Chain A
Amino acid sequence: MTALVLLEIENGTVRQASRSAITAASAFGPVDVLVLGAGAEIAARLPGVTRVRHAESLSDAVAEPAAALLAEIASDYTHIVSAASAVGKNILPRLAGLLDVQPIPDVVAIKDAETFVRPIYAGNALATIRSSDSIKILTVRGANFDAVANEGGSAAIEAVSLSSASNVPAVDLISVNLSTSERPELESARVVISGGKGLKDAENFKLLEPVADKLGAAIGASRAAVDSGFAANELQVGQTGKIVAPELYIAVGLSGAIQHLAGMKDSRVIVAINLDPEAPIFRVADYGLVADLFTVLPELEHAL
């Protein structure tokens, strides 16, 4: 059995969630990785990688040719894995469609080569499922698998290319709009501080920043805070946003709706700061503080 991991490389480094996917895939046997675009040499240094397959002219931003290439090389593998990221969730189910396979998204545990655990109903239940497909296509949650290191391996690099592009729909990438942030990536941060509607406006949302700076934390947000325009979309933590499991998660002025809890309740330590003692967030919090966040946040900044 050999597994293939679709790798995401960003700013010259392999994304942590992709390195977690390598750990997950190594449960099945030797691991090859596929790199679309630049970065094959970076991938070749990852420990636990046997072979880098490199398609320089493709990009993981466009699913149609990426899935077509994966379909061409899929027969070399028993398992095809990626992070459960926007890229993985875009490309891998399309690959599954091309191969007539039922994909297995958001895997949180691997029981054996064909049995996997995944959350359903916004994380309110965990389903153990067995796949009868000959090639298993899965996305895995980075937070549930340790990431391999960036250095230590020396894999062979082999060029691959799409041999039949004729029936691939012609989709153009027109523009990319990334928000720039100096902070750690939300999904791999050791500490996350998230704000909700209790912060009242976008200006107040910035009150999280000094505390985040002190803790080296990433900043997250509830859906309500994002919908109200306090925070950017990509900061949303929850069933429909990012899934995080940091060492410490500090929830500030957010109630803790089911949809939000789905994205953070596997955090090791949860702190809730809320004025409403009945807020559901207190039911999952290890430490709760019923207090006005506008006095707590400056105090917290001072105390750290």
Chain B
Amino acid sequence: MKVLVPIKRVVDYNVKVRVSADGSGVDTQGVKMSMNPFDEIAVEEGIRLRESGAAKEVVVVTIGAQAAQDVLRTAMAMGADRAILVKTDETLEPRAVANALKAIIERENPGIVSMGKQAIDDDMNATGQILAAKLGWPQATFASKVTINGERAEVTREIDGGSATYGVPLPAIITADLRLNEPRYASLPNIMKARKKPLETLELSSLGVDTASRLTTVSVAEPAERQAGVMLNSVAELVEKLKTEAKVI
């Protein structure tokens, strides 16, 4: 069985982004970029499935500009076997990404698609579900544990108030929650080896799929700034303020 892992290059999670002066988006020029943290977890899960013998090959794919190949190299340094870069300079919505991934999946025939539950830039949490629907596959979203039993997977999902375990026929889409695993670091020798692993580049247009946008960004704004607060010296003062000034207790 093959595991396909779609990954995304996003603004690093430690960067506090700024809204651009013209209100059209956020400034990403010169900002540190890295692999979406949830995708690192999805890559790690793919590699663990291969290490456990449940999978034979781990293929990573990303859709983006030429620069996005750096996250593919990172994934291969972690242990993915090969990579596919679907090149485009446009920013795609989850629906469009799902259409492109569907074309790749039909070509690669994976038994499992392991992907992050959401990207930390658009915070959509939608691509995996849309893709599963378009393929007619089951989806196991927000996964915190995955066990493969032949033709089925047993997946524990994080839900409001706790967790729930599902039996899912394969092939399936699994989206990783934070608690699925702890992604490994790529060692220097593995980073060197990853440079020699195969990286195929395709043009998005060659897939012949609908990637049009359905959403138009009217504007992007900074959230309202909070008023500067005050520092207090004692618990008594705090309780007093909460009672008489803020009137919340």
Contacts and interface: CB of A to CB of B under 8 A. Distances in A.
Interface of A: 10, 61-64, 67, 85-87, 89-90, 92-98, 100-106, 115, 118-133, 167, 169-179, 191, 215, 223, 227, 232-234, 239-240, 242, 247-248, 258-259, 265, 268-271, 282, 284-291, 296, 299-300, 303-304
Contacts of B69: none
B227 interface: yes
Interface in B213-249: 213-223, 226-227, 229-236, 238-239, 241-242, 246, 248-249
A128 B139 contact: no
A49 to B, nearest CB: 22
B123 A120 contact: yes
Contact of A169 (B93, B127, B138): B138
A268 B160 CA distance: 24
B179 interface: yes
* A interface, over-half SS: mixed
A67 B249 contact: no
Nearest to B221: A126
Interface in B97-135: 98, 118, 120-134
A237 to B, nearest CB: 13
Given A129-B217, A176-B162, A122 B123 contact: yes
Given A63-B129, A125-B221, A287 B241 contact: yes
Given A174-B154, A248-B248, A288-B229, A296 B125 contact: no
A287 B214 contact: no
List 8 tightest A-B contacts by C-beta distance, closest first.
A97-B133, A93-B129, A97-B130, A169-B138, A102-B214, A93-B126, A178-B162, A172-B167
B122 A120 contact: yes
Contact of A304 (B141, B154, B233, B249): B249
Interface residues of B, number: 80
Contact of A85 (B160, B213, B220, B241): B160
Contacts of A175: 164-165
Contacts of A177: 162-165
A288 B235 contact: no
Interface stretch (B11-19, B59-67, B183-191, B200-208): B11-19
A178 B161 contact: yes
Contacts of B44: none
B190 to A, nearest CB: 25
Given A129-B217, A304-B249, A239 B123 contact: yes
B158 A234 contact: yes
Nearest to B233: A289
Contacts of A233: 144, 158, 163, 179
A71 B117 CA distance: 23
Contacts of A284: 226, 229
Contacts of B137: 169
Given A95-B133, A132-B214, A269-B246, A282 B165 contact: no
B239 A303 contact: yes
Most buried by A among B11, B121, B128, B130: B130
Contact of B130 (A96, A234, A300): A96
B90 to A, nearest CB: 14
A98 B142 CA distance: 20
A206 B200 CA distance: 53
Contacts of A102: 93-95, 213-215
Contacts of A129: 215-218
A240 B248 contact: no
Contacts of A269: 242, 246, 248
Contacts of A179: 161-162
